[in-house]
């Protein structure tokens, strides 16, 4: 059941025991694993890079997958040390597999947590968004753009602290530059308008860090409402809604949400990337000042 050949991966298996599957991606399986000497649990992302044992992966795909994994590992190392970014513990290269050993997030994806509770209170949303934006601030300050922020790539530890993960699409913005990307990557519902414009409609202007803030806006809306801001069963219609920034706070769910929260969402889901809040501006938004104010009153 997707367990890599032991001979090939001897080094990994000498140190860890692999257990249940925690999640899957396009070319990876993530399993619980246990350090044989310390008994500490981790999550291992096993990436299939082809080789003789897998005839299903073409040499081109294998090379592409390998190179993407190497980039992901470089991003994780460059971004190590932040409490809200997943920690890469160990890496093993075997002929047909790459093993990436991560700190374990026992509570799984924010996506599943949200599905269980349906929607979050403003207080919980504040805690999660603050941590998310702090992670993004760190990522951007190190000249990286995540490019695939969504609740599936935000994990929760025992104390419900978030850990941003999946740097498979992370890109580097060279020092002194801003907009450098033109490729379509990410997940449809979370794509910023400028990504669609340049990759699908041949606009001239590349995109950069602001795409992560757009995704944060989509996430914040989804946390508070329990459903996403842009959705249509016909994907082209949904993409059109995104390009036009067409979403609303009309449903009854939004009646008891404060104007301050809606204001932050509006300033994140701003179609013009030059007018959208930067991550540090978002962290200064009034929405995040409410908590410290209340804390002072209560304690
Ligand atoms: P992909 O790049 O293939 O999407 P991810 O890194 O996003 O791979 O991992 C896929 C899934 O595996 C995640 O969405 C999550 O459900 C699970 N997962 C990944 N890392 C961990 C971890 N450290 N702890 C717990 N579950 C994890
Ligand atoms: Mg993922």
Residues 249, 190, 265, 292, CA torsion sign: positive
Q: Is the CB of 137 under 6 A from ligand 1?
A: no
Q: Is the CB of 22 under 6 A from ligand 1?
A: yes
45 is in an annotated binding site: yes
ipTM for the predicted complex:
0.98
Q: Is the CB of 20 under 6 A from ligand 1?
A: no
Q: What are the angstrom distances between the C-alpha of 50 and each of 7, 56, 103, 123?
A: 15, 8, 26, 46
Residue nearest to atom 13 of ligand 1 (CA): 23
Q: Which atom of ligand 1 is nearest to the CA of 72?
A: 2
Long-range contacts of 124-127 (CB under 8 A, 24+ apart): 124/223, 125/220, 125/223, 125/224, 125/261, 126/287, 126/288, 126/290, 126/291, 127/160, 127/291
Give residues whose Cβ lies within 5 Å of ion ligand 2. Answer: 153, 166
pLDDT tens digits, one per residue of 123-145: 999 999 999 999 999 999 999 99
Distance CA 48, CA 165 (A): 19
In the chain, the N- to C-terminal Cα span, in Å, equals 53
Nearest ligand (C-alpha, residue 30): 1
The pLDDT confidence band at residue 294, using thresholds 50, 70 and 90, is: low
Per-residue pLDDT, averaged over 245-262, amounts to 96
In the prediction, which pLDDT does 202 show?
Answer: 77
Residue nearest to atom 5 of ligand 1 (CA): 166
Ligand 1: distance of its center to the CA of 195 in Å? 24
Catalytic residue among 148, 272, 274, 295: 148
Ligand 2: distance of its center to the CA of 242 in Å? 22
The pLDDT confidence band at residue 120, using thresholds 50, 70 and 90, is: very high
Task: Read off the pTM.
Answer: 0.93
Q: Is 52 a catalytic residue?
A: no
Pick left, alpha or beta for residue 100 (phi over 0 → left; psi -120 to 50 → alpha; otherwise beta).
beta
pLDDT tens digits, one per residue of 213-253: 999 999 999 999 999 999 999 999 999 999 999 999 999 99
User: Hey, which of 26, 151, 166, 187 would you mutate to test ligand 1's pocket, going by the most ligand atoms within 8 Å of its Cβ?
Assistant: 166
Look at residue 22 and give its three-state secondary structure: strand
In the prediction, which pLDDT does 153 show?
Answer: 96
Beta bridge partners of 98: 47, 93
Residue nearest to atom 1 of ligand 1 (CA): 25
Distance CA 32, CA 258 (A): 40
In the prediction, which pLDDT does 1 show?
Answer: 56
Ligand 1: distance of its center to the CA of 130 in Å? 22
């Amino acid at each position: 059941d997707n367990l890599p050949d032991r001979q090939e991966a001897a080094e990994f298996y000498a140190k860890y025991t692999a257990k249940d599957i925690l999640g899957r991606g396009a070319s990876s399986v993530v399993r619980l694993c246990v350090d044989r000497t310390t008994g500490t649990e981790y999550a291992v992302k096993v990436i299939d890079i082809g080789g003789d044992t897998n005839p299903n992966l073409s040499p081109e795909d294998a090379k592409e997958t390998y190179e993407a994994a190497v980039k992901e590992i470089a991003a994780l190392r460059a971004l190590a040390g932040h409490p809200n970014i997943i920690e890469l513990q160990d890496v093993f290269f075997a002929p047909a597999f790459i093993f990436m050993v991560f700190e374990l997030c026992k509570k799984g994806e924010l996506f599943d947590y949200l599905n269980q509770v349906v929607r979050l209170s403003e207080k919980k949303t504040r805690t999660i968004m603050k941590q998310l934006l702090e992670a993004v601030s760190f990522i951007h300050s190190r000249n990286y753009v995540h490019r695939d922020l969504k609740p599936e790539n935000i994990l929760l530890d025992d104390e419900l602290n978030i850990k941003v993960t999946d740097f498979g699409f992370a890109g580097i913005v060279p020092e002194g530059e801003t907009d450098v990307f033109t490729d379509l990557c990410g997940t449809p519902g979370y794509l910023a308008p400028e990504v669609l414009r340049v990759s699908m409609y041949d606009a001239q202007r590349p995109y950069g860090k602001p795409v992560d803030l757009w995704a944060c806006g989509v996430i914040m809306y989804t946390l508070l409402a329990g459903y996403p801001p842009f959705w249509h069963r016909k994907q082209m219609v949904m993409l059109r809604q995104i390009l036009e920034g067409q979403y609303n706070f009309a449903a009854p769910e939004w009646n008891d949400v404060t104007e301050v929260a809606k204001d932050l969402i509006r300033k994140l889901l701003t179609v013009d990337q030059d007018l959208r809040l930067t991550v540090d501006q978002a962290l200064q938004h009034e929405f995040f000042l409410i908590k410290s104010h209340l804390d002072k009153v209560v304690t």
